[in-house]
Structure 1
């Protein structure tokens, strides 16, 4: 599914004359997923309220597996997590089904190091559709593969939780993304398997995917740039709503080491709240932050003058 690009197909011209190889397996699977998600909307009025709450809870867990896990912990090492928290985040990441932690983090490091070049897996300069979902429907650009191999991923290789999830990724996805969300409403409060599957598994999965993809597309095209006007990533509060705090993208690309991926204050950032709570429980430590003087100096030097 997302990110799996190992099969070929007919080619068509792409950006800068590059020929894109369509991965028809991914096109078909994505089409089926979205057809199932649209059908699931019909089932919403027929489902028990607890089922809808469960689907939303699964969405939050799914999102945290990406935002607090693959992104802020494993891609950027912006804080440290104890073993129980890393295990939870790895399981949540399997519920997200967006490639295993190792591949997600490696590709994301390439996205930051080579942002909006051919080595960027979802290069926004190739258009909205490509950066949102199209990059998953074609083979990766050769630069993504070539330069991705040169990235330092020693920390990911040394993390036993990352390697365990990678080794057993398929079975963990089957259980966390589809089986558990479906069986809980059926077994505990008697929801039909049909409703449980389409609402808590399929619809929840599709919505979570788009929440992540909006960061790659919308947050690279629409919004202001108060921290660095010379880069494409933007501040987009609406994206932050769907991606539980990941929409403050101009800040994040300016200060990628910051565990909050935004300035604190009134920003809607549930992922930061989650990490802070884990720190209170003693399960997370060493949160990295950009200092206020550092932020203000950068705004004055490279910002676009917006608030």
Structure 2
């Protein structure tokens, strides 16, 4: 909701309090600093399914899932990363603070606090707390995130744009509403990342943003018109019913 929908795609705006909360959650996930995560994802969207795509699914399922993190970057990816517009984040003090202190902050927020809470409050074994609350949680959330570049570019339907690799894959309960990937690559700036209403599709991320919009902490939520989406489906979508 923060790194992806707010800072990468600017799908809505947030008050300073919500931005600090989202930054804390981003650090807790420990998936690179927000600046780097956003840059890579903006490149992925702009150059999807080309050599400049850092998670290019054409290079294989394993590469798109995790291989792109351990392999040398394609020269086209490096060139694209230098040209992508990051001016909004370059001038964001909170983003730059995280960029400078991400690792020490993560040691505390990602590692120490989740380990010490069960150890202190209900006398959990320290090693069990570390492995379950930190290492297992981290491995699980990493693979869910990586699945957006692998699973959601291979399995599923393409009701909005049949010409791209992103799919609406049947994993919304695992991906917490991020699995409507064909829609997302068609309308990356939609704050809900889904055509269907929050009570029709499983989309906790949208519920989270809507809750804070109700509080007044999130505002200027962006979403295409129903007519726009309908016309796009008719012109470029697959004629396959939603799973």
Task: Quickly name the TM-score band, shorter chain normalised.
Answer: over 0.9
| Structure 2 residue aligned with 1:221 | 154
Residue aligning to 1:289: 223
Partner of 2:208: 274
Q: Say whether the 8 Å CA contact 1:244–1:269 is kept in structure 2.
A: yes
Q: How far apart, in 1, do the equivalents of 2:231 and 2:77 lie?
A: 33
* Aligned residues of 1:252 and 1:258 also touching (Cα < 8 A): yes
TM-score, normalised relative to structure 1: 0.76
Task: State the Cα distance separating 1:173 from its structure 2 match.
Answer: 1.2
Question: Matches of 2:55 and 2:26 in 1, distance apart?
Answer: 20
Matched, 1:255 2:187: yes
**Ranges in structure 1 where 5+ consecutive residues have no aligned partner:** 1-67
CA contact (8 A) 2:49 2:164 kept: no
Q: Quick check: 1:91–1:172 contact (8 Å CA) kept in 2?
A: no
Match of 2:67 among 126, 131, 134: 134
Once residues 111 and 169 of structure 1 are traced to their aligned partners in structure 2, the CA distance between those partners, rounded to angstroms, is 23
1:91 paired residue number: 24
Structure 1, residues 260-307: CA drift from partner, whole Å, max 9, x if none? 111133111100000000111111101000110000000000010123
The alpha carbon displacement at 1:139 in A equals 1.9
Specify the alignment match of 2:9 in structure 1: 76
What do you get for the CA RMSD once the two structures are aligned?
A: 0.9
- 1:44-94 Cα offsets, whole Å, 9 max, x none, are xxxxxxxxxxxxxxxxxxxxxxxx011100000000011111111111111
Say whether the 8 Å CA contact 1:118–1:144 is kept in structure 2: yes
1:160 is displaced (CA, Å) by 1.1
Residue 92 of structure 2: aligned partner: 159
> How far off its partner does 1:112 sit?
0.5
CA contact (8 A) 1:229 1:302 kept: yes
The runs of 4+ residues in structure 1 deviating greater than 3 Å are none
Structure 2 gap ranges (5+): none
Give the deviation of 1:129 after TM superposition.
0.3
What's the CA shift string for 1:179-230, capped at 9, x where partnerless? 1110111111211111110000000000000110111001001100000111
User: What count of residue pairs does the alignment treat as equivalent?
Assistant: 239
Alignment of 1:46-125 (within 5 A): 68-125=1-58
